[in-house]
């Protein structure tokens, strides 16, 4: 695949030998296959349509006015005939054969000339010579053979005579040259096509050249060659012109075989459209232009050339973090989109990573002609639009990827999905999200035999189970572009991690940093000593157990740093603070205001989306040199560092897992910048033995979570299997479950009950909940009874609603129909507030009462309708005893609805977080979750006719929650990577619509918009172009569908 494109080598005659050349004429689509134009190495331009020849004005003699007006031609033919008959020892049939052999050479050369000069022909691959070319040693040299050039000038309508002559003579005798030629043609044809089924013209050609055995007689006894030519040409002249001329038929006959061969070759090698792993050279240039990648690592080349990939087998590959796994996946994705012309689904673990990948690949989509569609939070169409021409790359979170696959299965379009790529495959073993990922992959494996699955991860252990589940090959390599050195610090001593020693550690060095008594108290773990060895020249990450610890570490470090640290890129750091102040509408976090001048910041979920993005950009460009962060950064966006410090071997209160440890230290070392990366784990004496076990233990195994996550796992899977009609009996469900990861691991995970019994219990539970209808036999587990899904069940799986809440949601929506308060959107917001957020909510009762009193009378009725009376809130705020029992989940949910209601009115996360005494990160997370849940409730209502009224209401509410900005900014925020602060900048600079952004000049944007790098400007423009293209395509699809002529119009046949 990586080889340069190969062309057929043909033996061509000099131009002087040919007296005239025939214009190449393409065969009619009716008579022979249309030769398709092979894409160029640049990969641009659609395949050209093959024009049909028009013979209405074409001379039937192939540009000769009259054979009577050209006596020399017949005389020459007569001379040729006599010349070969003069030798009395020559057998007559052999004479005919020699003439025919030369004729065939001439005919074949013409076929190649016609074929090669055609604009729409394909370039065929051969190694040494054309498979159809005859051995020159068995034939008279064409340069010395007058007959070849003379016969080359014969009118095309007469060439069939020689084929006829050959048919008769070949019955008696075949020359060695002919035998070799026929053998060559046969072997070539066998490799590329079946004799008759592939080429529609084959039957037509055979019929014209096939004669019965009765007609086999001596050609030269019947008539001379000259007489036969005269007779045939005269007959042609007298005959009426057919609707399809004989010239056209002849040319089609001449071209048909090679066209068939070419088309078959194109189909068999359509995956190879260029020299860069089957991709056009332009792709390599784009990687150089957009990513700065000049060459691939050796392992990447080896992986791409794996036989399993060439054969489209499923593949799992595992390498250390920063090894370059993503690049391999992207090349495979481009091969699927461009070469095989199939859609691709890429599943990523987090919304932020999805958005980053959409930004990064949109520029490739613009240049190479495919669409990039975002499926995260509330974004994404179900089912996706079926594109006419362009193929789509769906980039999705785990949950949205599952919903997308469901919609493709339901609309019988799952085979349109040629490839599924899963990043962080080890997440199969992580809670409810792992269960959802397992369900998604199991459905793809079961319903589509044509969809390839590629999984990648840095932390896999029980690969055998995953291979069996995904029916996949496995590739692994320990390559890292930058060497990683692992260390552990105990007190003031640093040890190197060495698995060869008995305790796993070897002494490395003592810390060389003078601590005062005050500093020793403030920094007992010697963090300052560790970070000052690398910053500000190099970057450093400190992973902390909690969010509060991140802020404390950042504050402590900057207090004891020397003032020289402030001078490093001082202006850019002041610009960052100014930018954060704009994001917060005048407010900026006091901790960040204190730490940023020293090049230090914290990074955790307590930041808003805009703040997090600004800090990440500042760190990537070197303005910030130290981030104190939580473990989520290790699994999120790619922010490498020269040194990674683990503040403690804990995540919150849980001891560190090997997978988490590997992901964190994997951030150490930046390819192309650092010669080495190093990680230092700070350990207390009490944890020493645990840490020894940690660094020397293998990675954790990946186990199915379908049983642990009951409502989001097993029951959700069973419901969708019946709903999608993948499996509708107990027996069919059993068969399906055997193909899941749980099925592979059932002996490990389901020891108390058999898998069949677990399935039976799950189905019965769904029937009890009213989500399925049917009967499960007590005696026969493999019941043949067909199960069907209820409308509520269908709405539940299509809305991706947790089965634990589906009945509650239905009741609340039903109750809302009786008296939906529409004076404001408070009532709707309550219905769209996620259930799972209520458990972590602890209302401030004074704030609760204050917010309630600020509501209008109609809005206060909402509290009564949902079951939270005013008296309850008043008594709680005043500390009085409560006699009446009120559901705490409803109380908490209404409180969160107040937060969302205030947020939509003020559109400022900072002011709302202060008003409700919540962290701004929590408010941001609530907003994101509410937008996603509102989208789910919308899809739930779409499946239930009784909830028709909610459809329009929830569509608008979802949009408001998704962007939470003033209406005029929404078109700009639809672009991947443009958040509120950036949207305001763009709007104020005159970029007010999507079209403005799509047609903007990146250089002008850099000059106009503050704190915008050239790379960011290019990504914004590319993302805007991609979104505009996607919307235009969607509208074109609607137009095409609208104008399509129905096939079942009454009275038509």
* Whether the predicted pLDDT of 794 surpasses 70: yes
Cα 475 to Cα 304, 306, 972, distances in angstroms: 11, 9, 42
The sign of the CA dihedral 892, 897, 898, 900 is positive
pLDDT attached to residue 751: 78
Q: For 666-696, what is each residue's pLDDT tens digit?
A: 999 877 777 889 999 999 999 999 999 998 8
Element (H, E) at 956: helix 948-963
Q: In this structure, how many other beta carbons lie within 10 angstroms of the beta carbon of residue 555?
A: 16
pLDDT attached to residue 82: 62
* Whether the predicted pLDDT of 626 surpasses 60: yes
- Please tell me the distance from the alpha carbon of residue 602 to that of residue 628, in angstroms, as a whole number: 5
Pick the closest to residue 611 from 921, 352, 974 (CA basis).
921
pLDDT attached to residue 890: 95
* Whether the predicted pLDDT of 944 surpasses 70: yes
pLDDT attached to residue 671: 77
Tokens of 772: 């399925």
* Whether the predicted pLDDT of 927 surpasses 90: yes
Tokens of 705: 């979570």
> Residue 713: helix, strand or coil by DSSP?
helix
Average per-residue pLDDT for the chain: 80
pLDDT attached to residue 235: 61
- Please tell me the distance from the alpha carbon of residue 377 to that of residue 749, in angstroms, as a whole number: 32
Of the pLDDT bands very low, low, confident and very high (cuts 50, 70, 90), residue 882 is: confident
Of the pLDDT bands very low, low, confident and very high (cuts 50, 70, 90), residue 75 is: low
pLDDT attached to residue 797: 94
* Whether the predicted pLDDT of 175 surpasses 70: no
Q: For 208-250, what is each residue's pLDDT tens digit?
A: 334 334 444 444 444 455 566 666 666 655 555 445 555 656 6
- Please tell me the distance from the alpha carbon of residue 901 to that of residue 824, in angstroms, as a whole number: 9
pLDDT attached to residue 562: 87
Of the pLDDT bands very low, low, confident and very high (cuts 50, 70, 90), residue 136 is: very low
What is the per-residue DSSP string for 751-767?
SSS-HHHHHHHHHHHHH
Residue with tokens 């009786």: 818
β-pairing verdict for 772-773 and 788-789: antiparallel
Helix, strand, coil content of the chain in percent (nearest 5): 55, 10, 40
Pick the closest to residue 607 from 625, 619, 621, 598 (CA basis).
619
Average pLDDT rounded to a whole number, residues 146-160: 45
Pick the closest to residue 548 from 604, 596, 616 (CA basis).
604
pLDDT attached to residue 201: 41
Do residues 386 and 413 lie in contact, with contact meaning Cβ atoms separated by under 8 Å?
A: yes
pLDDT attached to residue 583: 86
Of the pLDDT bands very low, low, confident and very high (cuts 50, 70, 90), residue 73 is: low
pTM of the complete model: 0.74
Q: In this prediction, what percent of the chain has a pLDDT beyond 70?
A: 73
Average pLDDT rounded to a whole number, residues 132-149: 40
pLDDT attached to residue 202: 38
β-pairing verdict for 540-543 and 643-646: parallel
- Please tell me the distance from the alpha carbon of residue 76 to that of residue 78, in angstroms, as a whole number: 5
Q: For 1020-1050, what is each residue's pLDDT tens digit?
A: 999 999 999 999 988 988 888 889 888 888 8
- Please tell me the distance from the alpha carbon of residue 218 to that of residue 407, in angstroms, as a whole number: 71
What is the per-residue DSSP string for 790-856?
-HHHHHHHHTT--TTTHHHHHHHHHHHHHS---SSSHHHHHHTS-GGGGGG----HHHHHHHHHTS-
Tokens of 34: 């249309």
CA 911 to mean position of chain CA atoms: 39
Tokens of 84: 């070969």
Top pLDDT among 387 and 120 is at: 387
Beta strands across the sheet bearing 643-646: 505-510, 493-497, 483-490, 676-683, 643-646, 540-543, 626-629, 600-603
* Whether the predicted pLDDT of 19 surpasses 70: no
Average pLDDT rounded to a whole number, residues 767-792: 81
Q: Which residues of 687-698 are buried (b: 16+ CB within 10 A; e: fewer)?
A: beeebbebbeee
* Whether the predicted pLDDT of 643 surpasses 90: yes
* Whether the predicted pLDDT of 107 surpasses 60: no
Residue with tokens 């919609």: 407
Q: At what angle do helices 201-209 and 246-268 cross, to 10 degrees?
A: 140
pLDDT attached to residue 640: 86
pLDDT attached to residue 72: 54
Q: For 798-831, what is each residue's pLDDT tens digit?
A: 999 999 999 999 999 999 998 899 999 999 999 9
* Whether the predicted pLDDT of 606 surpasses 60: yes
Pick the closest to residue 317 from 470, 480, 454, 462 (CA basis).
454
pLDDT attached to residue 563: 86
Pick the closest to residue 489 from 349, 643, 716 (CA basis).
643
* Whether the predicted pLDDT of 345 surpasses 50: yes
* Whether the predicted pLDDT of 708 surpasses 50: yes
Top pLDDT among 260 and 347 is at: 347
Q: In this prediction, what percent of the chain has a pLDDT beyond 90?
A: 55
* Whether the predicted pLDDT of 775 surpasses 70: yes
pLDDT attached to residue 585: 81
User: Residue 446: is the preceding peptide bond cis (ω within 30°)?
Assistant: no
- Please tell me the distance from the alpha carbon of residue 68 to that of residue 990, in angstroms, as a whole number: 80
* Whether the predicted pLDDT of 189 surpasses 60: no
* Whether the predicted pLDDT of 138 surpasses 50: no
pLDDT attached to residue 85: 55
- Please tell me the distance from the alpha carbon of residue 985 to that of residue 611, in angstroms, as a whole number: 15
Average pLDDT rounded to a whole number, residues 343-348: 98
R_g of the chain computed on alpha carbons: 37
């Amino acid at each position: 695949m990586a080889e340069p494109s190969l062309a057929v080598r043909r033996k061509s005659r000099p131009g002087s030998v040919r007296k005239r050349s025939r214009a190449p004429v393409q065969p009619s689509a009716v008579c022979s296959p249309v030769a398709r134009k092979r894409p160029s190495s640049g990969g641009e331009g659609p395949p050209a349509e093959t024009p049909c020849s028009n013979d209405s004005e074409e001379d039937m003699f192939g540009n000769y006015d009259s054979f009577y007006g050209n006596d020399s031609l017949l005389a020459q033919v007569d001379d040729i005939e006599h010349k070969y008959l003069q030798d009395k020892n020559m057998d007559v049939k052999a004479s005919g054969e020699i003439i025919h052999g030369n004729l065939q050479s001439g005919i074949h050369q013409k076929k190649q000339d016609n074929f090669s000069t055609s604009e729409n022909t394909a370039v065929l691959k051969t190694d040494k010579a054309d498979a159809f070319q005859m051995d020159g040693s068995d034939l008279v040299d064409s340069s010395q053979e007058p007959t070849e050039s003379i016969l080359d000038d014969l009118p095309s309508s007469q060439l069939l005579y020689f084929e006829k002559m050959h048919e008769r003579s070949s019955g008696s005798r075949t020359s060695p040259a002919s035998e070799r030629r026929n053998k060559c043609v046969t072997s070539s044809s066998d490799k590329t096509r079946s004799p008759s089924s592939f080429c529609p013209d084959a039957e037509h050609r055979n019929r014209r050249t096939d004669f019965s055995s009765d007609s086999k007689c001596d050609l030269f006894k019947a008539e001379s060659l000259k007489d036969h030519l005269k007779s045939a040409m005269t007959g042609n002249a007298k005959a009426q012109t057919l609707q399809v001329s004989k010239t056209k038929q002849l040319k089609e006959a001449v071209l048909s075989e090679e066209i068939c061969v070419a088309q078959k070759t194109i189909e068999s090698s359509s995956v190879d459209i260029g020299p860069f792993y089957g991709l056009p050279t332009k792709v390599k240039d784009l990687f150089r232009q957009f990513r700065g990648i000049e060459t691939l690592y050796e392992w990447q080349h080896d992986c791409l050339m794996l036989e399993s990939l060439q054969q489209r087998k499923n593949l799992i590959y595992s390498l250390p973090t920063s090894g370059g796994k993503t690049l391999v996946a992207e090349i495979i994705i481009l091969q699927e989109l461009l070469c095989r012309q199939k859609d691709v689904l890429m599943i990523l673990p987090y919304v932020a990573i999805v958005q980053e990948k959409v930004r990064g690949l949109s520029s490739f989509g613009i240049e190479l002609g495919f669409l990039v569609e975002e499926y995260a939070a509330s974004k994404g169409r179900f089912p996706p639009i079926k594109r006419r021409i362009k193929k789509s790359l769906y980039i999705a979170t785990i949950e949205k990827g599952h919903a997308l696959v469901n919609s493709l299965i339901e609309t019988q379009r799952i085979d349109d999905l040629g490839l599924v790529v899963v990043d962080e495959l080890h997440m199969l073993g992580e809670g409810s999200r792992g269960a959802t990922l397992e369900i998604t992959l199991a459905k793809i494996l079961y319903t589509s035999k044509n969809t390839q699955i590629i999984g990648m991860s840095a932390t896999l252990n029980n690969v055998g189970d995953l291979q069996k589940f995904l029916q996949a090959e496995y590739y692994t390599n320990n390559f890292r572009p930058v060497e990683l050195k692992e260390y552990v610090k105990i007190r003031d001593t640093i040890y190197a991690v060495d698995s060869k020693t008995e305790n796993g550690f070897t002494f490395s060095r003592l810390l060389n940093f003078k601590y005062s008594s005050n500093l020793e108290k403030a920094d007992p773990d010697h963090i300052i000593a560790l970070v000052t060895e690398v910053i500000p020249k190099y970057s450093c990450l400190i992973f902390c157990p909690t969010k509060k610890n991140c802020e404390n570490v950042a504050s402590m470090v900057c207090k004891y740093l020397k003032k020289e640290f402030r001078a490093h890129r001082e202006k850019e750091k002041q610009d960052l603070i100014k930018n954060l102040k704009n994001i917060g509408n005048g407010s900026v976090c006091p901790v960040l205001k204190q730490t940023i001048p020293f090049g230090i910041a914290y990074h955790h979920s307590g930041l808003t989306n805009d703040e997090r993005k600004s800090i990440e950009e500042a760190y990537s460009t070197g303005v910030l040199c130290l981030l104190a962060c939580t473990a989520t950064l290790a699994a999120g966006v790619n922010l490498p560092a020269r040194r990674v410090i683990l503040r403690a071997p804990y995540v919150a209160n849980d001891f560190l897992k090997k997978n988490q440890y590997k992901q964190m230290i994997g951030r150490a070392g930046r390819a192309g910048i650092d010669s080495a990366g190093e990680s230092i784990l700070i350990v207390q004496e009490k944890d020493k033995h645990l840490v020894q076990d940690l660094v020397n233990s293998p990675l954790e195994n990946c186990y199915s979570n379908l049983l642990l996550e009951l409502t989001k796992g097993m029951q959700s899977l069973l419901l969708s299997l019946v709903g999608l009609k993948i499996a509708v009996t107990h027996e069919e469900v059993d068969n399906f479950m055997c193909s899941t990861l749980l099925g592979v691991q059932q002996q490990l995970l389901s020891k108390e009950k058999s898998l069949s019994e677990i399935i039976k219990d799950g189905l019965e539970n769904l029937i009890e909940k009213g989500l399925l209808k049917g009967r499960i036999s007590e005696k026969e587990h493999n019941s043949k009874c067909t199960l069907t899904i209820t409308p509520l069940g269908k709405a539940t799986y299509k809305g991706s609603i947790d089965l634990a809440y589906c009945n509650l949601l239905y009741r609340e929506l039903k109750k809302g129909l009786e008296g939906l308060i529409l004076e404001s959107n408070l009532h709707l917001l309550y219905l769209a507030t996620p259930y799972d957020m209520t458990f972590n909510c602890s209302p401030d009762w004074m704030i609760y009462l204050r917010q309630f009193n600020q509501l209008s009378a109609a809005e206060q009725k909402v509290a009564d309708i949902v079951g939270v009376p005013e008296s309850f809130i008043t008594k709680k705020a005043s500390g009085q005893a409560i006699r009446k029992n009120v559901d705490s989940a409803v109380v908490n949910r209404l409180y969160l609805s107040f937060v969302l209601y205030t947020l939509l009115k003020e559109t400022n996360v900072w002011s709302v977080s202060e008003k409700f005494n919540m962290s701004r990160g929590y408010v941001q997370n609530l907003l994101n979750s509410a937008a996603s849940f509102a989208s789910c409730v919308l899809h739930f209502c779409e499946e239930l006719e009784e909830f028709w009224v909610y459809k329009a209401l929830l569509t608008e509410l979802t949009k408001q929650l998704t962007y939470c900005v003033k209406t005029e900014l929404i078109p700009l925020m639809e672009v991947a990577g443009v958040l509120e602060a950036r949207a305001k900048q763009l709007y104020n600079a005159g970029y007010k619509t999507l079209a403005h952004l799509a047609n903007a000049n990146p250089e002008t944007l850099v000059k106009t918009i503050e704190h915008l790098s050239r790379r960011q400007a290019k990504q914004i423009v590319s993302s805007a172009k991609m979104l505009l293209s996607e919307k235009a395509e969607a509208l074109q699809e609607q137009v095409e569908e609208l104008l399509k002529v129905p096939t079942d119009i009454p009275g038509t046949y």
